[in-house]
Structure 1
Amino acid sequence: MASKLLVDIHTHVYLPRYAALLRSRSAVPFIRSSATHDGKLDERLLILDHEPSGGRPVGPQYWDREEKLKFMDKHGIDVSVVSTANPWLDFLPASQAHTLAAELNEDLEEYCSTSPNVQDVPIRRLYGFGLLPLVPEITTASLLDTVKQVSKLPHLRGLIMGTRGVGKGLDDMALDPIWAAIEAAGLVVFIHPHYGVDAKAWGDMDNGHVLPLALGFPFETTIATTRLILSGVLDRFPSLRLLLAHSGGTLPQLSSRLASCIDHDPVVASRLKHDARYYLGKLYVDAVAYGPEELGFVSDVIARSGRYEAGTSDFKAANRSLGSQRMLFGTDHPFFPPLSSTEKWKSVVENSEAIDAVQGWSQADKDGVRGGNAISLFNLAE
């Protein structure tokens, strides 16, 4: 039964064509290749400045489809909606980014369309988020061309994008034609961080990657999404479907503070049709939060959004079950692997157990977060 499937919507791949590009480079982002003392190939991925330990070890799990399927089988995942991992095409000149986006979208379609079906269900095991060549100096025509391409590739059901847009952020008015095209095509936009915040905020102590990843990534998502809300994008494109990584960062926690600040700033208050808290109910978030209390809180914030629609005076208690309908399971594979190949991935187990332990979610709610919501959002049962 499709509604009982486990669907992973936050899972990445570095397609072979993309990995080859990274191997050809010598500055971040790149893959550094060297030989170990016993003559074996050692490849290290560096996608962030100051990567600890000289980069993360990479291997077939980053690009081999069979490795992705093995990971899915090991963890009981029926379907994955796969996305190219950060930093996407951000580091390329416009002409190269446009060409490579088209090629990688075709590659991802092939990766997904030739995957097996879920047993006894007419659904492929792999679907994908396409790439947009969102780089400075790209033309609107090039971006619209790529949206059209992705919308015609049957196994690509959305687009992944970072937070920089074409250089000025996602609230850049120059992106309005792109949002309009994405909305019209019915594609889901997965907003994912890469740059974090100013590294000076982390101080001088060596804390590895903990602060940039645990705090910098979600803060980046929070800022980018807040700017989108403040710019009126969700008013101008009310059917736009945005999916936020890492459970929306800190936006759920800070949404009432945001609303209060807007109320006291007439420039912004006059720009928006609704209280800022209303817009959180227009968003989707992954359930990559690792704890049941965090997931429950996020679902509460989403659930209460209706009371903040302009003209509404109904302030009844939020229905946590309602909020769960905008939350979707994710793993962040292939990052943070276990130390032993025989172990299940701790991050996957923690996220799965967190969904099970949320107080106030029915079994149907939990099944929805695990897969039913994704089946509906991405029209996978078609």
Structure 2
Amino acid sequence: MASKLLVDIHTHVYLPRYAALLRSRSTVPFIRSSTTSDGKLDERLLILDHEPSGGRPVGPQYWDREEKLKFMDKHGIDVSVVSTANPWLDFLPASQAHTLASEMNEDLEEYCSTSPTLQNLPIRRLFGFGLLPLVPEITTTSLLDTVKQISRLPHLRGLIMGTRGVGKGLDDESLDPVWAAIEAAGLVVFIHPHYGVDPKAWGDKDNGHVLPLALGFPFETTIVSALRHLCGVFDRYPSLRLLLAHSGGALPQLSSRLASCIDHDPVVASRLKHDARYYLGKLYLDAVAYGPEELGFVSDVISRAGRYQAGSSVTEAANRSLGSRRMLFGTDHPFFPPLSATEKWTSVVENLEAIDTVQGWSPADKDGVRGGNAVSLFNLAE
């Protein structure tokens, strides 16, 4: 049954065309190639300034489809909805970004459409998120053309987006025609961080990449999600489907504080039709949180959203089973690999264990988070 599939919705690929571009560069982002003392090729990916250890080692698992399928087979993953990883096209001029987005969307469709099908179901094992050329000076026409392209490619079921939009953030009113087109096309928008927060926030002590990745990326997601609430995008486009990386960052924890601050600020309060907590029920979140208590808490926060709709008379306690329907399994492959080739990936093992042990989720809820919710959201059975 499709509802019993294990579906990974947070899994990345650097398509060969994109990897070749990164190899041609000498400033961030780029892939640095060198030869080790024993004559082997050593490639390092640098996507942020001050990458620790001279960048992360990269290899075929970043771009080779067979490596993606081997990873899926090793961990029992039936279907993956893959996305180009950050920094996407942020570093390119508008004309080049538009051309490359079109080419990479076609590449990704080929990557997915020629993948094998499941043994017992006529479903491809790979689907994808397309790319928008969201860079400063891009025209609205270019963006709308790309939305049309993605919607025409049958194995692309959404698009991945960073947090800067066309340079002014995702609350920029100039993006309204783009949101309208995405909503009309029924595409899912996967919002994923890249820039983190100001590096000065981490102090002078060298802590490697721990704080930027563990806290900086989720804080970036938190900020951009809060800005989207403040600009009222869900009031204007109520059917827009947004998926947030890393379980929404700190937004669930801070949502009531956010709502209180909005209530005390008439400038912002006048923009919104509902209490800010209502809009969390409009979001989808990945379940990349690594712990059952975190997943349970997030599902509680999502499930209470209905009581904050304007005019609502709902008073029932939060039902985390209801909230689980907005959460979807992910692995963040190929990042954070195991130290030994024989080991399973921690991001798979711990996130599946977390789903399995959430208190208050029924077996059906857990099946939903593992894959059933993704099958429905992305129409994978069609």
* Number of aligned residue pairs: 382
**2:270, 2:103 → 1: CA distance?**
43
Q: Which residue of 2 aligns with 1:97?
A: 97
Asked if residue 57 in structure 1 is aligned to residue 57 in structure 2, the reply is yes
* Pairwise CA RMSD: 0.4
Q: Which residue of 2 aligns with 1:323?
A: 323
1:346 offset after TM fit, Å? 1.1
Q: Secondary structure at the match of 2:189?
A: strand
Give the alignment of 1:36-51 within 5 angstroms: 36-51=36-51
**2:372, 2:236 → 1: CA distance?**
29
1:48 offset after TM fit, Å? 1.0
1:220 offset after TM fit, Å? 0.3
Q: Which residue of 1 aligns with 2:282?
A: 282
1:315 offset after TM fit, Å? 1.5
Q: Which residue of 2 aligns with 1:173?
A: 173
**2:208, 2:118 → 1: CA distance?**
39
Q: Which residue of 2 aligns with 1:238?
A: 238
Q: Which residue of 2 aligns with 1:198?
A: 198
Q: Which residue of 2 aligns with 1:9?
A: 9
Q: Deviations over 1:74-112 (max 9, x none)?
A: 000000000000000000000000000000000000000
**1:328, 1:2 → 2: CA distance?**
15
Q: Deviations over 1:110-163 (max 9, x none)?
A: 000000001111110000000000000000000000000000000000000000
Q: Which residue of 2 aligns with 1:345?
A: 345
Q: Secondary structure at the match of 1:83?
A: strand
1:323 offset after TM fit, Å? 0.1
Q: Deviations over 1:153-186 (max 9, x none)?
A: 0000000000000000000000000000000000
Q: TM-score if structure 1 supplies the norm length?
A: 1.00
Q: Which residue of 1 aligns with 2:223?
A: 223
Q: Which residue of 2 aligns with 1:84?
A: 84
Q: Deviations over 1:197-250 (max 9, x none)?
A: 001000000000000000000000000011011001111000000000000000
**1:234, 1:340 → 2: CA distance?**
45
Q: Which residue of 2 aligns with 1:112?
A: 112
Letter in 2 for 1:43: E
Letter in 1 for 2:352: S
1:270 offset after TM fit, Å? 1.1
**2:191, 2:93 → 1: CA distance?**
22
Runs of 4+ in structure 1 off by over 2 angstroms are none
Q: Which residue of 1 aligns with 2:265?
A: 265
Asked if residue 378 in structure 1 is aligned to residue 355 in structure 2, the reply is no
1:2 offset after TM fit, Å? 0.4
1:313 offset after TM fit, Å? 2.2
Identity of counterpart residues, as a percentage? 89
Q: Secondary structure at the match of 1:238?
A: coil
Q: Secondary structure at the match of 1:285?
A: strand
Q: Which residue of 1 aligns with 2:250?
A: 250
**1:363, 1:199 → 2: CA distance?**
42
Query: Which segments of 5 or more consecutive residues in structure 2 lack a partner in the other structure?
Result: none
**1:314, 1:379 → 2: CA distance?**
31
**2:302, 2:25 → 1: CA distance?**
43
Letter in 1 for 2:80: S
Asked if residue 127 in structure 1 is aligned to residue 131 in structure 2, the reply is no
**1:50, 1:121 → 2: CA distance?**
46
1:347 offset after TM fit, Å? 1.5
**1:6, 1:212 → 2: CA distance?**
30
**2:314, 2:358 → 1: CA distance?**
26
Q: Which residue of 1 aligns with 2:73?
A: 73
**1:275, 1:364 → 2: CA distance?**
30
Asked if residue 162 in structure 1 is aligned to residue 162 in structure 2, the reply is yes
Letter in 1 for 2:99: T
Letter in 2 for 1:265: D
**2:109, 2:341 → 1: CA distance?**
29
**2:43, 2:207 → 1: CA distance?**
23
Letter in 2 for 1:372: G
**1:252, 1:133 → 2: CA distance?**
30
Letter in 2 for 1:228: R
Q: TM-score if structure 2 supplies the norm length?
A: 1.00
**2:346, 2:250 → 1: CA distance?**
23
**1:69, 1:314 → 2: CA distance?**
45
Q: Which residue of 2 aligns with 1:301?
A: 301
Q: Which residue of 1 aligns with 2:183?
A: 183
**2:61, 2:217 → 1: CA distance?**
23
Q: Which residue of 1 aligns with 2:365?
A: 365
Letter in 1 for 2:73: D
Q: Deviations over 1:270-290 (max 9, x none)?
A: 110000000000000000000
**2:262, 2:89 → 1: CA distance?**
34
Q: Secondary structure at the match of 2:304?
A: helix
**1:322, 1:53 → 2: CA distance?**
43
**1:285, 1:347 → 2: CA distance?**
16
Letter in 2 for 1:198: D
Q: Which residue of 1 aligns with 2:207?
A: 207
**2:316, 2:338 → 1: CA distance?**
44
Q: Secondary structure at the match of 1:325?
A: helix
